[in-house]
A and B are shown apart, each in its own frame.
Chain A
Amino acid sequence: MTNESIVRTKTRRLKIQWAPYVLILPSLIYLATFFAWPMVRAIRLAVWDEGALLTLREEAATRGQSAGALPQGASIALLDRQSIIAEPGEPVGGEVLTETWFRVQGNDSNGNPVEGWSPESRVRVRATDDEGAPTGGSIRPKLGAAADPLTSLYAEPNENSAVTGKLNSGATVVIQEQADLEVWFLIEGQRDGKTVTGWAPSRMLQIYGDGVSGRIDTGDTGQFTLTYIQRMLNDRFFRPALSTTLLLMVIIIPVQFFLAIIMALVIQARLKFNTLFLAIFAIPLAASDLAVGIVWYSIFTQSGYLNSVLQALGLLSSPVAYLTADTRHWIIVAIWLAEVWRATAIVMVIVVSGLQAISQEVLEAAEVFGANLWQRVRHVILPLLKPSLQVALILRTILALQVFAVVIALSGGEVVTVLANETYRQYYTLRNMNVAAAYAGFILLISMFSAVIYLRMVRSQEEANP
């Protein structure tokens, strides 16, 4: 159909056209955003440990020179502490230690006005504005005989900066500004047998009760890792999920093709109620997989239709429980029937369109020369249908890897599990995005393998009949 229109439009090829590119641009952008990019993200989630390393700094500053890095979980010793203005954005992980400093203005003991920064611990807030921000207060008295009775004000919210003035205890001050500081620690730890020393923000660290030791809670630099993939492979549900998925694929697909070809042949016979048959055969095409799972649940559940019929026929004395942990094989049978029921329609539609493309003369010729039904199917129809069957096969293979809702409906997702269900369980129940992504990547890998075959096939077909 398209080929004809291509021939017709061939004359348009002469000049370069922008129109088609403009027309496909939105879909290209959309598919890049919602297909290509998430796919890359999924792989990254599966093999990339976001917080593997914590970069230490020469100075207590976010953009300070790197002084090396320590892996997540490394034990550290705390050597020093300093506060800097917190970076905007929410702190992650660990225990965030913050300090608040005020920029205050007051009169020193000589009556001269002084202004500078003072830690919150030195100022008692006595007045706040409508929004609760402090506006005024007084200097707290210092305790202890040895202490300097005067409170220093600094040029910056940092005890190492220049002193701009000193205030008596009890002096009234105006609070001009408030700064939230984050505490940084000078830490020391071991990496690959070498000692690394540098500054790190408290939010990345876990500080032990003694106040002088701790561990790296989370890093800020990613690193390639196979941990998640290993965790997936060692997951006790991985092997059952993989084997069940493959088993289902192997038992579902041949039956689907067998039924689909028979359906297509019935349609091809051009019976009186041809369109009615076609419409009925196509019904499951639109059926939701969850709904189909429930339909077959109504048949296989203990008080379901299967038991009712068998008992009415006298084949059973009491209802049998099919969908239990002890009867895995019955659950597989139920999933098998449900999937065959649901997805045969897609194969049927592909086969019927393939059959319609075969010229009627070829089939009639075979009939005239005395070929019986089986010979016609085996030697004429199947070879001519090969391209359609291959496409249907790959499509069904990839879709079979995604079986999910039917399994949930029939087994609750515990007794019999499949790869898609494990992805869901890792994500939803265990809240482990990375292992879930590893599962997803694994499904991607198998699908990609099939898709490569699929693409090569389509291409060779397009070359075969240009």
Chain B
Amino acid sequence: MTTTNAPPVQVSDEMAQIRARARRRLLVGRAFTYLVGIVLALWVLIPIWLIASMALTTPETVRSYPKSVLPFITFSFDTMQFFLQSRGIVPGLINSVVVAVITLVLSTLIAAPAGYAISRYIFRGRDAFRLSILAVRAFPVVILSIPLAVTFINLGIFDQVYSLALMHTALTLPTTILVISSVFASIPYELEEAAQVFGCTPVQAFRRVVLPLVLPGIAASAIFTFVMSWNEVFAATVLTVQNRTLPAQVLVSLRQSPEPYKFAGGFFMLLPSVIFILFIRKYLFNMWGQISK
């Protein structure tokens, strides 16, 4: 900008004023952005704080009115304990975990090759395949649940944890394929090529070079699959009767259950998914970037 050997430029008063104004405007703008950001963050955080307050206190406090929030009320695990000891909750919890784990494994196993194919090969029908996955992602679980329930009844596999996992795999598969393909796409093909140049077979190149690089991404997609299955409630309610998953169990008993049960249940379902998502948010952006492309 200004040459170093020139004498310091005399800045006119007018110029200085303009600069000061610009700096002030920038500062005000920053402050305003911070303010907006903090307000929005509070909008997200306050409801979580409220439900946490209700879940981590005594049932008596939950029933009292007016309500207060955590630092000001008794901290206790009594409400959570009450919820976990209610009928059907522990089996529901086990079912939920089993379904989510089966879904995670199946979905990742089926999706990983497809994700690799989409990101690494050009082939006839590639775009059609990608488009159909995008379309399938958008289809409502409501439609699939009813005919699958009828079919499962006919096949005698209705109300089974693994048949629900089959359904959840179908629901999560499109998303998993897209996430995994974005994970593979972020690893340059040159790495694989270089490994082959240095004497690896294609399979070795994949195992030794690509696999270690994509594993964190695939783990993230698996966690997301787990969360999707954990949260899913419509299909779970339709496809199970005795072997309810946790959300299905809470949903069907919601109406005749007391408030401590509801709040503890809500918090309990919210917690793991929120924690998981904090770990994998980086990959979520990858995934949505991919989808909206």
Contacts and interface: CB of A to CB of B under 8 A. Distances in A.
Nearest to B69: A305
Interface residues of B, number: 106
User: Size range of the interface on A?
Assistant: 35 or more
A424 B189 contact: no
Contacts of B200: none
B138 A454 contact: yes
Contact of B110 (A30, A287, A373): A30
Nearest to B65: A303
Given A23-B113, A27-B110, A408 B51 contact: no
B37 A271 contact: yes
Interface stretch (A13-21, A134-142, A197-205): A13-21
B119 A298 contact: no
A319 interface: yes
A85 interface: no
A144 interface: no
Interface in B105-160: 109-111, 113-114, 116-123, 126-127, 129, 131-136, 138-151
A433 B152 CA distance: 13
Contacts of A346: 288
Given A41-B147, A281-B41, A283-B274, A295 B50 contact: yes
A38 B121 contact: no
Interface in A17-53: 17, 19-24, 26-28, 30-31, 33-35, 38-39, 41-42, 44-45
Main secondary structure of the interface of A (DSSP, over half): helix
A45 B146 contact: yes
A296 B262 CA distance: 11
A108 to B, nearest CB: 49
B6 interface: no
A269 interface: yes
B134 A38 contact: no
Interface stretch (B13-21, B87-95, B214-222, B251-259): B251-259
A262 B140 contact: no
A392 B140 contact: no
Q: Which 6 A-B pairs have the closest CB atoms?
A: A294-B266, A34-B170, A41-B147, A286-B277, A353-B289, A308-B66
Interface of A: 1-2, 5-6, 8-10, 12-13, 17, 19-24, 26-28, 30-31, 33-35, 38-39, 41-42, 44-45, 259, 262-263, 265-266, 269, 271, 273, 277-299, 301, 303-305, 307-308, 311-312, 319, 341, 346, 349-350, 352-354, 356-357, 373, 387-388, 391-392, 394-395, 398, 401-402, 404-405, 408-409, 412, 419-420, 423-424, 427-428, 433, 436-437, 439-441, 443-444, 447, 450-451, 454-455, 458-459, 461-462
11 contacts: A17-B123, A24-B129, A27-B111, A271-B33, A282-B277, A286-B273, A303-B63, A388-B292, A405-B251, A408-B254, A451-B139
Given A31-B174, A395-B138, A398-B140, 4 more contacts: A45-B147, A269-B30, A294-B265, A298-B266
